[in-house]
């Protein structure tokens, strides 16, 4: 009995995915010819064919990782400001710090390998900024 239910669930799933795929296929101006087809008309490619042509290099991967880590740092920071439970604040603070360290390590990797070019800030500007943020805040 369980197998027939699973089989029906799989058929329903494929039918729903197929209709979703057909709805999206209009975006390219054509109609998908089968489940997972990408493209239009006779130029359609299966997902496997499409995926085999996609090649991510180190810069793509590192940029994606850096972007994700920056987003996580922002989310942890926001969550930290919204929580009053000390234990949870401690956990979020630890996660925030770890994530920020990971983000900085990824940035350093990218910078050292020419994937994230930066330029030196003028020494006078750095000193001025340090003084500005070192002053006691009232």
Q: Where are the domains of the chain?
A: 2-53, 58-118
What is the tens place of the pLDDT at every residue in 83-119?
999 999 999 999 999 999 999 999 999 999 999 998 8
Average pLDDT along the chain: 76
Sign of the dihedral defined by the CA atoms of residues 10, 16, 20, 22, in that order: positive
> pTM higher than 0.75, yes or no?
no
Give pLDDT, residue 115: 95
- Which residues are within 8 A (CB) of 24 and not within 5 positions of it... i.e. 6 or more apart? 32
């Amino acid at each position: 009995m369980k197998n027939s239910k699973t089989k029906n669930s799989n058929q329903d799933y494929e039918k729903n995915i197929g209709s979703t795929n057909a709805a999206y296929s209009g975006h390219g101006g054509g109609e998908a010819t089968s489940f997972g087809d990408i493209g239009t008309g006779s130029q359609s490619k299966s997902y496997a064919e499409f995926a085999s042509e996609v090649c991510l290099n180190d810069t793509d991967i590192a940029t994606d990782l850096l972007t994700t880590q920056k987003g996580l740092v922002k989310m942890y920071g926001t969550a930290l400001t919204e929580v009053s439970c000390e234990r949870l604040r401690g956990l979020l603070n630890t996660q925030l710090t770890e994530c920020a360290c990971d983000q900085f390590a990824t940035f350093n990797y990218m910078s050292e390998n020419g994937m994230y070019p930066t330029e030196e800030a003028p020494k006078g500007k750095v000193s001025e900024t340090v003084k500005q943020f070192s002053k006691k805040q009232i």
